[in-house]
Amino acid sequence: MVACTKTHERVGMKNEKIIIGGIPAIIWGKHSEKAYVHVHGKFSCKEEAETFAGIAEKKGYQTISFDLPEHGERKGENYRCDIWNGMRDLSLIADFAFPKWTVVSLFACSLGAYFSLNAYQNRNFSKCLFQSPIVNMEYLIREMFIWFDVSEERLRSEGEIQTPIDPLRWDYYQYVFEHPILTWNIPTAILYGAKDRFQSAEIINAFAAAHECQLTVSETSDHPFMQPEDIKIVTEWLEKNV
């Protein structure tokens, strides 16, 4: 989870701003038959894909990044960043990407990974990279119950409760409870920080084992991978796996 900051175009790196079904997006890199769909996490934006896109371009891929609801150019829209809108938007992006490129892969971070797990179960991505993925949203919501002293009964009664992280919503919680991630057949590599409090090591290990994912654990990193030493860790992981 990183803040959206202004970025500068890499020397010699082409990028094109487009709109896909009302969603602001960027296509990065020189023409290729291969591309990554880049799904950012909470508090980020499409421009934050620049570093990833630079690495992907060296490996022969273009990258398409886009703003999730309530992020980047979409702040202030009356369109919530929830599972239903997230799935709709990710489906629109995939509908654009698959006819355009011969080989399509996926990178997703944090909340973007959770949206991807719900929206892309039946999409034929060549491979997938997850950084700090939310693979079990029910676990995270139950942790938020503890952190913010909210009971399930109170949430059911009030419908929505504001928290410093994100609103807790009864309809969202019900969706999460009724739709656990059981199917994920895309070859996947995961980067996880051992100090991540949003998903436990047990949760990540169980997901990786169930879906035969290649798991890399950074013992010194937290969920956002934002410490100075994390830049090298993420870069080396991407260089190896893109």
User: Which residues is 106 bridged to in the sheet?
Assistant: 37, 128
* Residue 188 in this model has a pLDDT that exceeds 90: yes
- State yes or no: pLDDT of 10 exceeds 50: no
> What tokens does 5 get?
């900051």
* Mean per-residue pLDDT, 194-199: 97
| Predicted model pTM | 0.94
What is the Cα–Cα distance from 186 to 6, expressed in whole angstroms? 33
Which domains are assigned to the chain?
15-136+187-241 (3.40.50.1820), 137-180 (no CATH)
Asked whether the predicted pLDDT for residue 1 surpasses 60, the reply is no
Question: What are the pLDDT digits (tens) for 126-185?
Answer: 999 999 999 999 999 999 999 999 999 999 999 999 999 899 999 999 999 999 999 999
**Is residue 23 predicted with pLDDT exceeding 80?**
yes
